[in-house]
Amino acid sequence: MARTTPHDPAAPRLAALAALLADETRASFCLALLDGRAWTAGELARAAGVAPSTASEHLGRLVGGGLLAEERQGRHRYLRLADGRTAQLVEELAAHAHAGAPTPPRTLREASLRHALARGRTCYDHLAGRLGIRVTDAMTGRGLLRQDTGFALTEEGLAWFAALGIDLATTSRRPLARGCLDWTERRQHLAGTSGAALCRHMLDAGWCERVGTGRAVRPTPAGLRALSQHLGIEPGHLT
């Protein structure tokens, strides 16, 4: 009698995770939440174009499966991605899904949104798109960031963050710098603690602003001047 090889005990959990994302509505929720903010169930329902009752059922599955975390404030229910690892997983899967020939946009609104996301967006808590790549390239070119053996800030990079008043101290076990595959540029942009801190600084300082209610961002006139001054990025490369 032939012996059967025991299956990997992780297989059922992997299959369950894949099943959670194998629905377009649930995938839409996870992609929307890559902007790093907490959304209400109603906002997510409108973003995905489904009824509130349908959204509630799908959100319950995502929370139960550990992909989303739920917060309640009074009568309001807010949802966000469970953590940075979940955001990285969703972004990398999105990059893999976009690896083939892009599908043409179905509407003018979809085309405009796609262009806005390609120009600049938040990838959970750090910058992505053309804006994120330009910043990453400029930091590397100025010797603030190394990419030859993985992403790492140099001594000059640490001093640069300190000069901008950006505190990189953290109690988290998250890496200070890591690369994240950009699904529109097909290259790595800066993530990790430093990427999140820089994104937060650029938004708080008014160097960039959100476009609409999603995760698209664009540099402001003040931001164009600041990026030129601090990183030598020509404004024409970002507009």
Residues in the chain: 239
pLDDT in tens, 188-211: 999 999 999 999 999 999 999 998
pLDDT in tens, 223-238: 999 999 999 999 888 8
pLDDT value of residue 181: 84
Which DSSP symbol is given to 8? P
pLDDT value of residue 6: 57
CATH code 1.10.10.10 region(s) in the chain? 20-82
Distances (CA, A) of 78 to 45, 71, 138: 12, 5, 36
**pTM of structure:** 0.76
Category of 134 on φ-ψ map: left (φ > 0), alpha (ψ -120 to 50) or beta: alpha
- Give the residues of the chain that fall short of pLDDT 50: none
Which pairing describes strands 39-40 and 178-181: parallel, antiparallel, or unpaired? unpaired
pLDDT value of residue 3: 55
Three-state secondary-structure class, residue 17: helix
* Residues 125, 32, 20, 185, CA torsion sign: negative
pLDDT value of residue 103: 66
Residues sharing a CB contact under 8 Å with residue 99, sequence separation 6 or more, in sequence order: 186
User: What architecture does CATH give domain 20-82?
Assistant: Orthogonal Bundle (1.10)
Three-state secondary-structure class, residue 217: strand
Three-state secondary-structure class, residue 121: strand
pLDDT value of residue 169: 82
Rounded-to-integer distance, Cα 97 and Cα 110, Å: 17
- Of the candidates 53, 85, 54, the one whose C-alpha atom is nearest the C-alpha of residue 69 is 85
